[in-house]
Amino acid sequence: MSHYRSVFAPGVFAGKVVLVTGGGSGIGRCTAHELASLGAHVVLIGRKLDKLHDVAGEIVADGGRASFHACDIRQEDAVRDVVQAIVVAQGRLDGLVNNAGGQYIAPAETISAKGWDAVLQTNLTGGFLVARECYLQWMRDHGGAIVNIVADIWGSMPGMAHSGAARAGMVSFTETVAMEWARSGVRVNAVAPGYIASSGMDHYPAEAGPMLREMKETVPAGRFGNEAETSAGIVFLLSPAASFISGTVLRIDGARPQVRMGWGQIAAPGDVQQREAVKPFDGFHRYQVPKVFQ
């Protein structure tokens, strides 16, 4: 039977409970698998119970421990109740991966107030609510580690102004509570994925396919990142090795924000992409290439 090929020490999260929002797909699913492979009991939350059920089943089939709860993180009462249920059921809550999010492609002038609010509620307010409740209901008295998932907002996000604003807000929130909650032994960091070939890319309309497939040509590393490379950064920030890291943003983007016009060839050629220091890390044994790239 195949297992997750993590670079971290076996058992490093033994006895720990980690909540992963948006754990039913993409980066959240991959991170949940890695954490479980390292000994954590992973609690998945999301809006679609069937997807959570499937991922929890995968984790258990691989020998890990997982449970799940349906929750719309935009609803304050629902978030309060689900965190309470997790603490009661598991007896502790050591880590949070604030991963749930979503957006759509649209020029700023076409975004309605309803559309703007929906993206900010999902990518900013929801993450705030989950982090606050984890802090109030467990971490304030026992410590913990939080990793907020943001995005490549350096240079902002033309075509997704709502998401760029929300993610920038989450970066500021991360920096703020890293200071405010340090007195409780809580570390708060963020991970900013760049162009990652995850299932989230299949949520965009079919006409976006050519643009999505060409994006790797604007990455100095010459390729897309994958879910396992993103998960590794998240897991590191949750781990004891990051015990003096708080209030920072870890970019996982192949140097994409450094790209400037007029600098000559941008993308590394295919043979260079296979050199040891930069070739893709194939850690997730259940990874599936997004349909848009098949």
Q: In which residue are the tokens 């995005």 written? A: 151
127 in any annotated domain: yes
Contacts of 236 (CB under 8 A, 6+ apart): 8, 242, 250
The Cα 66–Cα 19 span in angstroms is: 10
212 in any annotated domain: yes
Task: Evaluate whether 181 touches 136 at the Cβ level (below 8 Å).
Answer: no
279 in any annotated domain: no
What is the CATH number for 231? 3.40.50.720
282 in any annotated domain: no
276 in any annotated domain: no
Q: In which residue are the tokens 């259940």 written? A: 286
pLDDT tens per residue across all 294 residues of the chain: 579 999 999 999 999 999 999 999 999 999 999 999 999 999 999 999 999 999 999 999 999 999 999 999 999 999 999 999 999 999 999 999 999 998 888 999 999 999 999 999 999 999 999 999 999 999 999 999 999 999 999 988 888 899 999 999 999 999 999 999 999 999 999 999 999 998 777 777 777 788 878 888 889 999 999 999 999 999 999 999 999 999 999 999 999 999 887 777 788 999 999 999 999 999 999 999 988 888
How many domains, in total, are found in the chain? 1
Task: Evaluate whether 159 touches 107 at the Cβ level (below 8 Å).
Answer: yes
Task: Evaluate whether 192 touches 151 at the Cβ level (below 8 Å).
Answer: yes
Name the residue among 234, 192, 190 with its Cα closest to residue 31: 234
What predicted TM-score, i.e. pTM, was given to this entire model? 0.94
For 187, the domain range is 17-254
167 in any annotated domain: yes
Contacts of 209 (CB under 8 A, 6+ apart): 292
